[in-house]
């Protein structure tokens, strides 16, 4: 059995040595989801190898801590544009702090990212991410300091959404997206033209 043209892959790390006999090439892979990563150097090297062998990879869904380790290795991948950060390792601390988000925003992958799903400790981190990640077009985020609860959907006031709307130009669109997630559509070109 061999699958040379695989486009979407969901995987648990580390994997055994038979993986490369079943999937010998990742040349057509556009979407990779890592559903669990055991803390271990083999997992780290396998993740780097997977990303490096997938020249068309556009979307990576991965544990936030694993992704931070990946970007600290200064990996370069020109086609990766969509990043979904999940939390498998850190069951107790699901939110990234300002330092971790700064590492992401200042990385090579952070600079080219256009779509990001992330959980952050506080709302000011959102401002920093949008200011530093200059190619970012869509940000879907959950804030630990968000007071919104499910039954707030009936209320017309959403404090975090209002705060974000007041923090960005009118060319940005902010809305509540699924439960505690807020989604921002970012249009920096139009806002730059307006400010001229």
Per residue in 87-136, pLDDT (tens digit) is 765 555 689 999 999 999 999 999 999 999 999 999 999 999 999 999 99
Q: What angle do CA 133, 117, 184 make, to 5 degrees?
A: 70
pTM of the model: 0.88
Could you identify the residue written with the tokens 């020109």? Answer: 78
Task: Decide if 72 is inside a domain.
Answer: yes
Per-residue confidence band for 195, with pLDDT thresholds at 50, 70 and 90: very low
Say if CB 105 and CB 129 are below 8 A apart. yes
Task: Decide if 82 is inside a domain.
Answer: yes
Task: Decide if 152 is inside a domain.
Answer: no
Task: Decide if 158 is inside a domain.
Answer: no
Task: Decide if 177 is inside a domain.
Answer: no
Q: Report whether pLDDT(163) > 70.
A: yes
Q: What domain range is 64 assigned to?
A: 8-146
Give the percent of the chain with pLDDT over 70: 86
Task: Decide if 49 is inside a domain.
Answer: yes
Rounded to an integer, the average pLDDT of 44-69 is 93
Distance CA 106, CA 102 (A): 6
Domain count, the chain: 1
Q: What angle do CA 160, 120, 189 make, to 5 degrees?
A: 70
Helix, strand, or coil (residue 169): coil
Distance CA 77, CA 112 (A): 9
| Beta pairing partners, 170 | none
Q: Are strands 82-86 and 115-120 parallel, antiparallel or unpaired?
A: parallel
Q: What pLDDT shows up at residue 190? A: 53
Distance CA 110, CA 103 (A): 8
Task: Decide if 112 is inside a domain.
Answer: yes
Task: Decide if 105 is inside a domain.
Answer: yes
CATH code of the domain covering residue 32:
3.80.10
């Amino acid at each position: 059995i061999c699958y040379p043209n695989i486009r979407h892959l969901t995987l648990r790390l580390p994997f055994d040595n038979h993986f490369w006999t079943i999937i010998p090439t990742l040349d057509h892979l556009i979407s990779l989801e890592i559903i669990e990563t055991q803390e271990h150097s083999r997992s780290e090297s396998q993740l780097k190898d997977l990303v490096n062998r997938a020249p068309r990879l556009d979307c990576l869904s991965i544990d936030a801590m694993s992704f931070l380790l990946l970007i600290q290795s200064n990996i370069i991948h020109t086609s990766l544009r969509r990043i979904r950060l999940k939390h498998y390792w850190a069951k107790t601390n699901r939110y990234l702090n300002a330092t971790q988000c700064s590492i992401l925003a200042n990385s090579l992958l952070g600079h080219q990212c256009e779509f990001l799903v992330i959980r952050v400790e506080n709302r000011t981190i959102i401002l920093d991410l949008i200011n530093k990640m200059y190619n970012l077009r869509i940000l879907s985020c959950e804030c630990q300091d968000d007071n919104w609860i499910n039954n707030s959907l009936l209320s017309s006031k959403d404090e975090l959404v209002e705060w974000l709307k007041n923090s960005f130009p009118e060319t940005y669109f902010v809305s509540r997206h699924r439960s505690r997630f807020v989604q921002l559509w970012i249009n920096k070109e139009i806002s730059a033209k307006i400010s001229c």
